[in-house]
Amino acid sequence: MRKKIRAFIPKLPLVVGCLVLPLIATAWGSNNTVKAQTSTTPKIAFVSFRDDNSGDIYLMNPDGSNLTRLTNDSVSESDPAWSPDGKQIAFSSNREGNPDIYVMDADGSNLTRLTNDPEYDIDPAWSPDGKRIAFTSGRNDSDRDNNSEIYEMKADGSNQTRLTNNPADDGDPVWSPDGKQIAFISSRDGNFEIYVMNANGSKLRNLTNNPTSDADPAWSPDGKQIAFMSQRTDNRDVYLMNADGSNLTQLTNNSADDDAPAWSSDGNRIAFVSFRDKNPEGSNFENYNPEIYVMDADGSNQTRLTNHPSTDYSPDWQPLTSKARR
């Protein structure tokens, strides 16, 4: 299911503009891919710097086994998002000089560019019916102020439409399982909070209200809860709330940062990124070594899935559907 990595650089302010820095720092590279093995096991897509210093998309089993590299470029790629049928992955790539949204088959083949704008397009999120993709864009439309806004488009890249329009930054969209709403983050109240709106951009509601930043919303498969990251303690942790913002529960609690929750499609587990493992040698973020973990939906049984000196982040869980069981 849809997972987000956001603000994975330790202790930096949550500013949507800084989220694209890993993408805009590199240039065009090759597009050699390795085909994934056909399997009935739902995969976790994620981004890793383990084979170069730019970031590529990989797959692994939910226990961390069967690692497969899907992209092989000297450019940065991020934000992998599984299609609802489990057959495609949308993602952000800098392969044409600035971040745009692409889609590829689950084995890394059939690469297609969906957006083409001088500004950044990131954070793709599929609608539950697979017909539309919401995303974050910094494009400079004539009637707005060149900040980050949420757009949507058809799954083939056509009919790109802006959903939000205000002087603050909006981003990190994720659809509700019934396709009627989109949760997202916004700095319109001075710091990043989680909001929800109807899928057409109407009826905006504020779900969190905290002096520090909340981000990375991830809707549970049954639509009843939203997992998210919050800095309301001394560091970032993963929290859970009802879809109306009530019944807040803290799921992780340690001295390091935890963020980017992503639900398994059965709703029983949550993958997330943790900085609890430090590795001064070879880490991309000074003394921090972000790795991917998984836990039960109540926060128990936290287990490390990746173990590498480089950076692993941005997990997204493949939907478990009859179509995904190829």
CATH of the domain at 49: 2.120.10.30
| 160, part of any domain | yes
CB atoms within 10 A of CB 88: 18
**CA dist., res. 52 & res. 30, Å (int):** 13
What pLDDT score does 142 carry? 53
Residue 8 lies in a domain: no
What integer pLDDT is reported at residue 303 of this predicted model?
A: 97
10 lies in some domain: no
Instruction: To the nearest 10°, report the CA torsion of 21, 23, 26, 30.
Output: 170
Q: Quote the domain boundaries for residue 293.
A: 16-317
Q: What is the DSSP letter of 98?
A: S
Residue 53: what pLDDT?
72
Q: Is residue 241 part of a domain?
A: yes
DSSP string, 53-80: SS-EEEEE-TTS-S-EE----SS-EEEE
Q: Is residue 142 part of a domain?
A: yes
The DSSP 8-state label assigned to residue 222 in this structure reads: T
3: in domain: no
Q: What is the pLDDT of residue 287?
A: 56
Confirm if 77 and 90 have CB atoms less than 8 A apart: no
Say what the pTM is: 0.86
pLDDT along the chain (326 residues), means of 10: 36 36 33 42 94 89 96 91 98 92 97 94 98 94 73 98 93 98 96 97 96 96 98 93 98 93 97 82 58 98 94 94 45
- The reported pLDDT for the residue numbered 144 is 53
- pLDDT of res. 301: 98
pLDDT at 206: 96
Q: Give a yes or no: residue 68 inside a domain.
A: yes
10 Å CB burial of residue 16 (0-12, 13-18, 19+) is buried
Count how many domains the chain has.
1
Please check whether residue 159 lies inside any domain of the structure. Answer: yes
